[in-house]
A = this chain, B = another copy of it.
Amino acid sequence: MGAVLDAKAYASKADRDSNRQSTRIQTINREIILDAAIAVFAVHGFRGSTVDQIAAKAEMSKPNLLYYFRRKQDIYRAVLEHTLDDWLTPLSAIDPQGDPIEELRRYITLKLKMSAENPAASRLFANEILAGAPVIGDFLKTRLRQLVHEKAGVIRRWVAEGRLAPVDPTHLIFTVWAVTQHYADFDVQIRAVLGSQIDQPGFREQTAQAVLTIVLNGIRPRG
């Protein structure tokens, strides 16, 4: 898929030195920085995060970090860029030729899995959206919008063919997003309510089962 957000001038000193290929150290350190940055931005958002925090988490001096990404904004954009594609893949993968219930089951399961395995990515988006989507706003209005319209069309066709109960396709997609995001973003709240049982093996499967029961039975056509 490639560059999702508009490339912004030059991100670093290394970049500015013509478009030479990245060195080994550059590759390693950029990865380290992005990993540290997503953890920090996910908790406090862009405004609430500091370059020092990211540098500390990356175990790197601040000037060194700024050697790879000249400005805080550049780190932030890079992190979003780095995560955005992955986030859309599950929806893209819904297959119009497949079995409706099976496709949606797979979609929900995959989304829940991603939320569980990479909650920081989910929280990063949540923060960006809460702040008014200053960086990914255009992306939402173009790429995301188009993808949702496309997949809503698929679901609408399934409904028309009687293979799904009558349901508003867009709101169905929103509902799935809502629930899957929730388990990542509100993890602290869920932990507070459930206590230790969240760490028991099988909790994830149990969650998936419960969500699938609620959502799928709601859209499955009555016998």
What residues of chain A have their CB less than 8 Å away from a CB belonging to chain B? 42-49, 123, 126-127, 129-133, 137, 140-141, 144-145, 148-149, 165-168, 170-172, 174-175, 177-179, 181-183, 185-186, 188-190, 192-195, 206-207, 209-211, 213-219, 222-223
Contacts and interface: CB of A to CB of B under 8 A. Distances in A.
Nearest to A132: B188
Contact of A218 (B137, B166, B168, B213): B213
Secondary structure call for the A interface = helix
B175 A179 contact: yes
Given A214-B167, A218-B218, A188 B44 contact: no
Q: Lowest 6 A-B CB distances belong to which pairs?
A: A47-B48, A218-B218, A178-B182, A171-B210, A140-B192, A48-B48
Contacts of A42: 130
Contacts of A216: 218
A216 B218 CA distance: 7
Contacts of A195: 145
- Pick the most buried of A48, A206, A223: most chain B CB atoms within 10 A of its CB: A48
Contact of A215 (B43, B133, B214): B214
B48 A192 contact: no
Contact of A44 (B45, B123, B223): B45
A165 to B, nearest CB: 7
Contact of A43 (B130, B172, B179, B190): B130
A222 B217 CA distance: 10
